[in-house]
Amino acid sequence: MGPPSDGVLPILGLQMGLYEGKDLRRLRIAGEARLLLVEADTGTVRSTRRLGALPTSDHPFAAAWHVSLPDDRLTFAVGKTARCYRVSDGTRLWERSLPGSVVPGSLLTGSNLVLVLDTPAIDCLSGETGREKWQFTGLKAAPGALLQENGAIYAGALDGRVYALAAATGNLAWDAECPGGRISGAPALVNGILYAAASDGRLYAVDAVGAAPVP
């Protein structure tokens, strides 16, 4: 089968099962990945590709994936592994071991995989080759979901801080404290103001240029 055409909806099916870890204190997840190509107008499954066993993950259902039909590529990360497959025939193009486990909040684009790891860190991989472009480890607590806007990556963290990184290099542009506690959701950027919801139920606003709290 050639590269997917218009009108085809790619679906990544993660057939996963929970089992208890040897230490009896946490659940782990394992299973198999399949790629389904579905007719967008009828829902008919055109083909199914078995992509093999999933890496074991200590973070149930924490997986990040991206399908680019023009490039005939599927990229996904789960556990401590990131992989890329060719959609048309299921060939694995590359695989990379990660320095930590993927947790919810990762950001996948056509050219980069920006992954949230439990170490804690933010790790950026090339979607073409799997090569690590940069890694940011200057976090005091695990970050929440990421936002990419205007050449920057924004993240709130469980220590109540928000971070702004240069998307191309991972260099820290600024960080600021939101005194409301944990931030787990993705921030929002509106007219140069970064908004983040904290665990105290309040919405905090930070100047995305100067990192100054907005009254």
Both tokens assigned to 166: 């240069």
Q: 42-65: per-residue pLDDT in tens? A: 877 776 777 666 666 555 555 666
What is the architecture, at CATH level 2, of domain 140-215?
Answer: Beta Barrel (2.40)
pTM of the model: 0.75
Helix or strand (DSSP H, E) at 161: strand 161-166
Q: What topology is assigned to 1-137 in CATH? A: Methylamine Dehydrogenase; Chain H (2.130.10)
Rounded Cα distance, 122 and 103, in Å: 10
pLDDT confidence bin for 10, thresholds 50/70/90: low
Q: 139-188: per-residue pLDDT in tens? A: 888 788 899 998 899 999 888 899 999 999 999 999 988 887 888 888 99
Q: List C-alpha distances in Å: 92 to 72, 106, 111, 169.
A: 12, 21, 17, 27
Rounded Cα distance, 21 and 200, in Å: 34
Q: Which residues contact 137 (CB under 8 A, 6 or more apart)?
A: 119, 120, 121
Q: Where are the domains of the chain?
A: 1-137, 140-215
- Give the β-pairing of 121-126 and 112-117: antiparallel
